[in-house]
């Protein structure tokens, strides 16, 4: 075949390729290569074509050959980097982009480099790459978006919003920017109308965008926007059952009434975002020939937050004859008194917030952590990617996320016989460790209570029963609220006291109350206060009404610590059974109900019988197993020791009860 006909054949292939007719273009490229195996252009473009078909190994081989034939061709180096990026061979991708930039720097290549660095959590370098891209092209949409995403993640919210605004000015239907702007605006200012408008527009543009449907519902629940609640719940549940990524596990827990559905949601999320790594092998426990067991508590909440409030006493009281206790801080420690207390509670403090997953995992390996405890799970600032690297012989799910994490590299979940009853272990990918009493630790020394305010100072009426619930708005459902309203209607002069939430939460609840026949003036709102002041005002209420499917957790133990009785309805999932676990450990089984009718009847009876309510309050005490930190410490340490002994013996994690 002549050189001219080869050029013509390549031109035909390229034209078909450009039109998207890949199946017709491929044989023509191959004809050229059959006659001229080292032809750079055909190797390069056939590699690009194979990448478009998702056949990445073939694409890499073809483009690698082209790069060898012409190592100074920037376009081939960029495409080679793109394929390596898709194959998650990030270090090689970066090298290819750097070689291309040394030859012909341009905005697209800087942006691609920034994308890889962002994936690796090398945020300062990624930010610098995006800024280089924008110097070459101030309107590079991908660079603007990438820069906005990083700025939002590192807390430079106004700049992040400005980036998203610019993206949307250039491309109004940029789904990711609209989605991110909605979330960022809500987190920054809790301005509901523009936030939900962005998310709903993104959902209209991309109904199948992963996790967006659940995100929209979660934001609506924050402000009791229940216009399509039942249909939304059904749609998300059906999506999870069909294996679709419709909701993040943390959001789905506030809707799910099935442990099987919660497990399916967590498994899907873990598998898509934090899959097991083929080369991740845990350290051999035999490396340790003696000495104390090193406990590593990994958290993004070493500050004035619920997890820290519950855990602080345990950190302090761990048996230092047998354990060393190490904080693995994911970057949230602040100047609060709680952070200062925690700094003193640990034997060692390791910051991992600025490290990518691989770097953080190596830091944990180097620290010789024996048991690594995940205090976030899918809540707050999770670092599941670190756990996917298997940096410790034993990895445990505890406290932060009440359910399975759905990942095979988490060995155990710490629970009790109430939150995970016998027979339901199959809904947990972890081996279930059943502690005596309540799984939830409590601090029996550090929970200070300020002087109590008067009812008037707290914004309460001088008389009448005060029912309350101080959970966040996203835990409230129409069925739970309707039950509370039925209780109010049967206890004359009573009021419902809720935690203040962003507008239009109160406005929406007023409308729901009117529709159910109760004056909205009977619903009052408590502004946010420091923990010691919040505990003090809790004592002014008469009865805490729990909700489903997500009970009060830290808030429930707060109420009991403050002398406020809690009544609960036992649900079907871990987060819906925590109230029952707390009350049983506090010695108050009569406040646990199993039907909606029984729950409402108990609340009405206590609300209308001051003597019965006073009798319940008289039984509230700090001297109970729920608030015995040292008793809990002995239980969880026994669990850690049993895990360690099994691991040292070469046994796979298996469920056990203490």
Q: Which residues of 226-245 are buried (b: 16+ CB within 10 A; e: fewer)?
A: beebeebbebbbebbeeeeb
- pLDDT, one tens digit per residue, over 594-607 is 999 999 999 999 99
Q: Give the DSSP H or E segment for 123.
A: helix 123-136
Flag the least confident range among 106-110, 183-187, 354-358. Answer: 354-358
- Predicted confidence at residue 587, as pLDDT, reads 97
Q: Is residue 437 part of a domain?
A: yes
Beta-bridge partner residues of 297:
327, 373
Q: Is residue 12 part of a domain?
A: no
- Do 472 and 398 lie in a common domain? no
- Do 370 and 479 lie in a common domain? no
- Predicted confidence at residue 449, as pLDDT, reads 94
pLDDT at residue 554 greater than cutoff 90: yes
Domain encompassing residue 357: 291-444
Give CA–CA dist 228/226, Å, rounded.
6
pLDDT at residue 302 greater than cutoff 70: yes
HEC profile of 47-78: HHHHHHCCCHHHHHHHHHHHHHHCCCCHHHHH
Q: In residues, how long is the chain?
A: 658
Q: Which residues of 546-555 are buried (b: 16+ CB within 10 A; e: fewer)?
A: bbbbbbbbbb
Q: Is residue 347 part of a domain?
A: yes
- CATH number of the CATH domain containing 408: 3.40.50.11380
Give CA–CA dist 425/443, Å, rounded.
28
Q: Is residue 80 part of a domain?
A: no
pLDDT at residue 3 greater than cutoff 60: no
Name the packing angle between helices 554-561 and 531-538 (round to 10°).
60
Q: Which of 74, 73, 16 is nearest to 49 (CA)?
A: 16
Mean of pLDDT values over 298-307: 93
Answer for the pair 164, 184: CB distance below 8 angstroms, yes or no. Answer: yes
Give CA–CA dist 467/242, Å, rounded.
40
- Predicted confidence at residue 105, as pLDDT, reads 95
User: What is the token pair recorded at 29?
Assistant: 């490229």
pLDDT at residue 4 greater than cutoff 90: no
Q: Is 138 helix (H, G, I), strand (E, B) or coil?
A: coil
DSSP character at residue 589:
G
- Predicted confidence at residue 381, as pLDDT, reads 86
- Do 299 and 416 lie in a common domain? yes
- Do 475 and 619 lie in a common domain? yes
- Do 436 and 539 lie in a common domain? no
Q: Which of 223, 224, 188, 185 is nearest to 201 (CA)?
A: 185
Q: Is residue 549 part of a domain?
A: yes
DSSP character at residue 572:
S
Residues 6+ apart with CB under 8 A from 79: 44, 47, 48, 51, 63
- Do 492 and 608 lie in a common domain? yes
- Do 386 and 507 lie in a common domain? no
Mean of pLDDT values over 271-292: 93
- Do 505 and 600 lie in a common domain? yes
- Do 572 and 537 lie in a common domain? yes
Q: Is residue 312 part of a domain?
A: yes
- Do 476 and 577 lie in a common domain? yes
**Sheet with 466-469: strands ordered across:** 523-526, 495-499, 466-469, 543-545, 566-569, 592-593
- pLDDT, one tens digit per residue, over 214-268 is 999 999 999 999 999 999 999 999 999 999 999 999 999 999 999 999 999 999 9
Residues 6+ apart with CB under 8 A from 605: 612
> Taking the chain, what is the end-to-end CA distance rounded to the nearest angstrom?
80
Give the count of alpha carbons within 13 A of 343, CB side only.
11
- pLDDT, one tens digit per residue, over 178-204 is 999 999 999 999 999 999 999 999 999
- Do 426 and 554 lie in a common domain? no
- Predicted confidence at residue 654, as pLDDT, reads 98
Answer for the pair 354, 127: CB distance below 8 angstroms, yes or no. Answer: no
Q: How confident is the model at residue 332 (pLDDT cuts 50, 70, 90)?
A: confident
Answer for the pair 257, 572: CB distance below 8 angstroms, yes or no. Answer: yes
Tokens 């249909």, residue located: 231
Q: Is residue 418 part of a domain?
A: yes
Number of domains in the chain: 2
Q: Which of 263, 610, 564, 238 is nearest to 408 (CA)?
A: 263
**Sheet with 293-299: strands ordered across:** 348-351, 323-329, 293-299, 371-374, 394-397, 412-416, 431-435, 656-657
- CATH number of the CATH domain containing 524: 3.40.50.2000
Residues 6+ apart with CB under 8 A from 8: none
Of the residues 444, 476, 493, the one at which a domain ends? 444
- Predicted confidence at residue 481, as pLDDT, reads 98
Give CA–CA dist 247/224, Å, rounded.
18
Beta-bridge partner residues of 394:
371
pLDDT at residue 1 greater than cutoff 70: no
Q: Is residue 568 part of a domain?
A: yes
pLDDT at residue 2 greater than cutoff 90: no
- Do 500 and 434 lie in a common domain? no
């Amino acid at each position: 075949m002549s050189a001219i006909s080869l050029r013509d054949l390549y031109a035909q292939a390229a034209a078909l390729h450009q039109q998207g007719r890949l199946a017709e273009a491929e044989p023509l490229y191959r004809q050229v290569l059959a006659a001229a195996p080292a032809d750079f252009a055909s190797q390069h473009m056939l590699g690009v074509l194979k990448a478009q078909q998702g056949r990445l190994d073939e694409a890499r081989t073809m483009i690698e050959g082209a790069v060898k034939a012409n190592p100074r061709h920037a376009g081939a180096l960029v495409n080679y980097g793109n394929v390596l990026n898709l194959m998650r061979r990030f270090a090689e991708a970066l090298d290819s982009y750097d070689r291309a930039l040394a030859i012909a720097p341009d905005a697209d290549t800087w942006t691609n480099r920034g994308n890889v660095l962002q994936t690796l959590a090398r945020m300062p370098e990624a930010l610098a790459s995006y800024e280089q891209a924008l110097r070459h092209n101030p309107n590079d949409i991908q660079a603007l978006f990438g820069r906005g995403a990083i700025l939002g993640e590192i807390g430079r919210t106004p700049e992040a919003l400005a980036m998203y605004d610019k993206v949307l000015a250039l491309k109004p239907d940029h789904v990711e920017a609209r989605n991110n702007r909605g979330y960022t605006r809500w987190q920054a200012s809790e301005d509901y109308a523009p936030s939900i408008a962005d998310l709903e527009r993104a959902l209209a543009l991309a109904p199948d965008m992963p996790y967006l449907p659940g995100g929209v519902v979660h934001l609506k629940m924050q402000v009791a926007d229940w216009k399509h609640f039942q249909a939304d719940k059904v749609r998300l549940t059906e999506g999870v059952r069909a294996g679709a990524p419709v909701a993040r596990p943390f959001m789905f827990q506030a809707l799910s009434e099935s442990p099987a559905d919660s497990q399916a949601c967590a498994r899907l999320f873990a598998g898509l975002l934090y899959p097991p790594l083929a080369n991740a092998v845990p350290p051999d426990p035999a490396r340790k020939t003696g000495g104390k067991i090193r406990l590593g508590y990994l958290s993004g909440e070493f500050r004035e937050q619920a997890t820290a409030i519950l855990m602080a006493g345990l950190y302090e009281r761990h048996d230092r004859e047998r354990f060393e206790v190490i904080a693995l801080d994911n970057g949230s420690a602040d100047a609060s008194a709680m952070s200062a207390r925690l700094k003193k509670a640990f034997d060692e403090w390791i910051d991992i917030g600025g490290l990518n997953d691989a770097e953080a995992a190596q830091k944990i390996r180097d620290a010789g952590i024996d048991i690594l405890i995940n205090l976030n799970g899918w809540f707050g600032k999770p670092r599941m990617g670190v756990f996917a690297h298997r940096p410790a012989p034993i990895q445990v799910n505890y406290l932060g996320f009440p359910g399975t994490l759905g990942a095979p590299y988490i060995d155990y979940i710490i629970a009790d016989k109430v939150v995970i009853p016998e027979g339901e272990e199959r809904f947990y990918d972890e081996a279930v460790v059943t502690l005596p009493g309540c799984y939830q630790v409590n601090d029996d020394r550090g929970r200070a209570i300020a002087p109590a305010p008067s009812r008037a100072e707290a914004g309460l009426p001088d008389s009448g029963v005060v029912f309350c619930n101080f959970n966040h708005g996203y835990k409230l459902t129409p069925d739970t609220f309707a039950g509370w309203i039925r209780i109010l209607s049967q206890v004359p002069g009573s009021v419902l006291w809720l935690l203040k939430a962003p507008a239009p939460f109160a406005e929406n609840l007023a409308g729901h109350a009117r529709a159910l026949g109760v004056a909205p003036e009977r619903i009052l709102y408590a502004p946010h206060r420091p923990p010691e002041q919040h505990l003090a005002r809790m004592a002014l209420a008469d009865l805490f009404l729990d909700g489903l499917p997500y009970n009060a957790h830290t808030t429930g133990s707060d109420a009991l610590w403050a002398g406020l009785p809690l009544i609960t309805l036992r649900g079907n999932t871990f987060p819906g059974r925590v109230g029952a676990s707390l009350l049983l450990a506090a010695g108050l089984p009569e406040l646990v109900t199993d039907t909606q009718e029984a729950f409402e009847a108990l609340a009405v009876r206590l609300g209308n019988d001051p003597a019965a309510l006073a009798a319940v309050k008289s039984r509230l005490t700090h001297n109970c197993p729920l608030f015995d930190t040292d008793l809990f410490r002995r239980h969880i340490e026994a669990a850690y020791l049993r895990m360690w002994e099994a691991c040292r013996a070469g046994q796979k994690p298996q469920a056990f009860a203490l």
